[in-house]
Structure 1
Amino acid sequence: MSLDSESSSSTKDEELRTLRWYHRDLSRHAAEALLLSNGSDGSYLLRNSNEGPSYFSLSVRAKDSVKHFHVQHVDQSYIFGFNQFSSLQEFVSHFANQPLLGSDTGTLIVLKSPYPWCVEEPSIYEAVRVHTAIQTGRTESDLVANAPSLGTKEGYLLKQGAVIKNWKQRWFTLQRHELKYFKDKMFEEPIRNLDLRACSAVQFDYSQDKVNCFCLVFPERTFYLCAKTGVEADEWIKFLRWKLSQNRKGR
């Protein structure tokens, strides 16, 4: 390696250490899971690419999907599409000016908000950390390190009745130590609010006549829930178990 190449590599590494939305070895699948679970339309992050040490991937959420774009480091420049940037700061500043990206379907994607790595949250996909919330803004300086956690989850699950053992679809939301369920997504008032600090266990359940079921064990009752898929059930279980572990640490 020449002295110029070594200098270029050193400068690149130093810049990457200052970039709050550089997720290093995050995989493509994990980036998609993270952005779809906790990002919003226009959320983006930078990660290493499998193409080689001089390549990066910019992952961007576009509504209900995630698009990936190559960024190549050549000498002391970053090549992104038809654009060339002399530094990562110039790269960030370019994003601040509402650039548009054309996806493979011709859809224009606006890069709205960087997805930072700065706060540790639960592992739900390949030891991925779910991260901090970010203030709506378009530059790295807009990041809010102490913003409310995005360690939340919501979705439809089937719930078994306490007395009549029938199954009804309910809308569940999980935030902090509260698991609430509603008659439907449109309802503002929950049917019940479960305090996870009182929950002793979350586990798969194979005693029902349905698949993808799991249960939450409380002193007064065990709640039986079913997800649409095994993957979804596994996500809920991992997330709920992380919440329980955090509650125990806080005692």
Structure 2
Amino acid sequence: MSVCSSNPSCGEDVDELEAVSWYHYDLSRHAAEALLLSNGVDGSFLLRNSNKGPDCFAISVRAKDSVKHFNVRRQGGKYYFGFNDFATLQDFTSHLANQPLLGSETGNLIVLRVPYPRQVEEPSIYESVCVHTAMQTGRHESDLVPSAPSLGTKEGYLVKQGAIIKNWKQRWFTLNRNELKYFKDKMFVEPIRTLDLTACSAVQFDYSQERVNCFCLVFPERTFYLCAKSGVEADEWIKILRWKLSQIKKGR
């Protein structure tokens, strides 16, 4: 069974997933995060193609101010999701209809509450152009360089070392666009501090502290020392933070 996601109406070879109203074909990870963060609610999810290859998909779900992505694989007509396998597409979608609770390796618990539809009603109202004049001259199509901040979201508890008194306190961290915020607790709305990653020069594992699973973020005025609950979680934070820095260096 081949995936015909680039053109939903491409003749007889139509994927059975076309009938699923919340299957978003070739929606990218970047676009899925932007869509769910701007229009979704906590627990909104969608199914999309994964870049891992044919018959590989991803469920993207909004978890408060971040978006998590989970692998789905299809083989021999069966669907494999987490520790479960489903004999048919109907079995798979029926499972999701019962609002399953997912636990990630980082310990976060997420409920898949409501699917985000592929087709959404939008107003047929467009602005009329009243002024149209060039602000520069001599530029060409090659001068149009697309630019957008990298999305890549993450959140979770980390233990942070104090700046003056070197004690360790648990804080709730959220990563969104180029901002790493930490809060006194998950329930607080206002952050204690917001770190601008455009000023961060390095993210790396740290072995100087008498703690395990530690890493640090190097800023001009200070190095922040953080510890995760597990090596897996620390590695996830380091990977996504390093990816953010690489995107910043590329000017994205």
Fold in common (TM above 0.5): yes
Q: 1:165 to 1:174 in 2, by over 3 A?
A: same
- For residues 151-201 of structure 1, what are the alpha-carbon distances to aligned partners after superposition, in whole Å with 9 as ceiling and x for unaligned? 211111000011111100011111001001111111111111100000000
Say whether 1:237 aligns with 2:238: yes
What is the aligned partner in structure 1 of residue 119 from structure 2? 141
How far the C-alpha of 1:109 sits from its partner, in A, is: 2.2
Match of 1:249 in 2: 250
Does the CA contact (< 8 Å) of 2:203 and 2:216 recur in 1? yes
Match of 1:109? 98
Q: Cα gap change, 1:207/1:154 in structure 2, threshold over 3 Å: closer, same or farther? A: same
Match of 2:74 among 48, 56, 75: 48
Shift of 1:206: 0.3
Change (3 A) 1:29 1:171: farther
Q: Which runs of 5+ in 1 are unaligned?
A: 1-11, 60-64, 72-79, 83-94, 103-107, 112-124, 126-134
Q: Is the 8 A contact 2:205 2:216 kept in 1?
A: yes
**1:23 to 2:45 alignment:** no
Structure 2 segments unaligned to the other structure (5+ residues): 8-24, 27-47, 106-113, 123-148
Which amino acid in the other structure matches residue 94 of structure 2? L
Is 1:206 aligned to 2:207, yes or no?
A: yes
CA offset at residue 22 of structure 1?
A: 3.2
* Residues 18-27 or 200-209, more deviating: 18-27
1:76-155 alignment, distance < 5 Å:
80=89, 100-101=94-95, 109=98, 137-138=116-117, 140-142=118-120, 151-155=152-156
Hey, what's the Cα distance between the residues in 1 that align with 2:229 and 2:86?
Answer: 32
Is the contact between residue 24 and residue 47 of structure 1 (CA under 8 Å) also seen in structure 2? no
**1:141/1:159 Cα in 2 relative to 1: closer, same or farther (>3 Å)?**
same
Match of 1:57 among 79, 104, 117: 79
What RMSD, in angstroms, separates the aligned Cα atoms of the two structures?
Answer: 4.1
Mapped partners of 1:233, 1:181: distance in 2: 16
- Conserved 8 A contact 1:212-1:228: yes
* Pairing 1:169–2:170 present: yes
AA aligned opposite 1:137: Y
The alpha carbon displacement at 1:220 in A equals: 0.4
The answer to whether the Cα contact below 8 Å between 2:200 and 2:217 also exists between their aligned partners in 1 is: yes
Could you say what secondary structure the match of 2:95 adopts? Answer: strand
In 2, the alpha carbon distance for the partners of 1:137 and 1:150 equals 19
Q: In the superposition, relative to structure 1, how do residues 167 and 44 fare at CA in structure 2: closer, same or farther (>3 Å)?
A: closer
The alignment's TM-score, normalised by the length of structure 1, stands at: 0.56
**Residues 1:141 and 1:149: Cα distance change in structure 2 (over 3 Å):** farther
Change (3 A) 1:58 1:156: same
- Richer in helix (by share): 1
The one-letter amino acid of 2:2's match is D
Deviation at 1:137, TM superposition (A): 3.1
**How far did residue 44 of structure 1 move?**
8.4
> How high is the sequence identity, in percent, across the aligned residues?
55
Tell me, yes or no, if structure 1 residue 13 matches structure 2 residue 2.
Answer: yes
Number of equivalent positions: 174
